[in-house]
Amino acid sequence: MLALSGALVGCTCFIAFPPGSPLAMSSPNKTKQRSFQNLRLLKINFQSIHSKREEFWSLAEAVKPDVIFGCETWLKPTISQGEVFPKGYDLYRCDRKDRYGGVLLGIHSSLNNHQIVIETEAEFIAAKIVNGNQSVIVASLYRPHNCSPDHMNDLNSAILDLCLNNPDAAIWIAGDLNLPDIDWAISSIKSHQYRTTINESFLQVLDRTGLEQMIDFPTRGDNILDVIITNRPSLISKCSGLPGLSDHDVVYMDVNVRVERNLSEEKFSYGKELTSTLFVKE
């Protein structure tokens, strides 16, 4: 595991790759093939991924997501990837020092990807999926409900930097913003639980970058606290809620982006055999 240090003050970032070789279930030869399929995204608020390991692995086995956006991971640097994440993914983490909060990105190892280093104190981590001439940028974020306007400004700056430095890429950013005051249907402020400046500043970022918030159903109680924002809204073929691993619903999204995959004859294993029945909310 490689730790990155620099201007990241509020959290510690790690790049982790699956240890060892996957379990071979057919030929031991690593003959690579190419495949093109839609991109499957999964946004999860964990509230401790370590304590939800079996439920999470069951969900991952059922949905088979390409990209997992995680927040409130509650991880610390001594917890390794293998303790919390299924095999077959490259994992990028930003752990908060107080062992709460925290964000991660899990990207399937069949996709050519690497981390994008963003200098920020916000809980924000990003990566690029190289897909021929069309890159796909993904990022995971978290805004604690009790944070200051300065924290929101740091988060806004990270989003702006990511968009300005990747003007031609398809961008997908997901996380928990804790902004129940915003009516996402009309992009306006409907209440005042948090300071108006916090809500206004984020709406201004969306306006400047051309990003749109795509979740239109409540994800916690009656509120839309979790978001997926993108500059390619027309590519969404499905967006639905799934039973959550915490008091937030999980969000699944299928995107019409034909990403190139390098497939091996070896099959990835999720480790311990877990089974579950997945119910999709209407």
pLDDT, tens only, 190-231: 999 999 999 999 999 999 999 999 999 999 999 999 999 999
What is the strand order of the sheet 32-45 is part of?
Answer: 2-4, 11-16, 89-96, 103-108, 67-71, 32-45, 250-264, 236-242
Q: In this predicted structure, what is the pLDDT of residue 262?
A: 86
Q: In this predicted structure, what is the pLDDT of residue 266?
A: 43
If you ran DSSP here, which 8-state letter would residue 235 be given? G
Q: In this predicted structure, what is the pLDDT of residue 16?
A: 55
**Strand 136-142 to 170-176 pairing:** parallel
pLDDT, tens only, 99-116: 899 999 999 999 999 999
CA dist 263 and 110 (Å) reads: 6
Give me the amino acid identity at 140: S
Give me the amino acid identity at 201: S
Q: Give the long-range contacts of residues 233-240, CB within 8 A, separation 24 or more.
A: 235/170, 237/38, 239/214, 239/215, 240/280, 240/281
Q: In this predicted structure, what is the pLDDT of residue 134?
A: 83
**CATH superfamily, region 11-17+30-264:** Endonuclease/exonuclease/phosphatase (3.60.10.10)
Q: In this predicted structure, what is the pLDDT of residue 34?
A: 59
Contact assessment for residue 104 and residue 73, using Cβ atoms and an 8 Å cutoff: yes
| 117-75-72 Cα angle (round to 5) | 80
CA dist 203 and 208 (Å) reads: 9
Q: In this predicted structure, what is the pLDDT of residue 35?
A: 61
Q: SS3 for 164?
A: helix
Kindly provide the b/e burial profile for residues 76-87, where b requires at least 16 CB atoms within 10 angstroms of the residue's own CB: eeebebeebbbb
CA dist 54 and 18 (Å) reads: 18
Q: What is the pLDDT along the chain (282 residues), one digit of tens a residue?
A: 444 433 334 565 555 544 443 433 334 444 455 566 789 999 999 999 999 999 999 999 999 999 999 999 999 999 999 999 999 999 999 999 888 999 999 999 999 999 999 999 999 999 999 988 889 999 999 999 988 999 999 999 999 999 999 999 999 999 999 999 999 999 999 999 999 999 999 999 999 999 999 999 999 999 999 999 999 999 999 999 999 999 999 999 999 988 888 876 444 444 333 323 333 333
Neighbours of 278 (CB within 10 A): 13
Kindly provide the b/e burial profile for residues 25-47, where b requires at least 16 CB atoms within 10 angstroms of the residue's own CB: eeeeeeeeeeeeeebbbbbbbbb
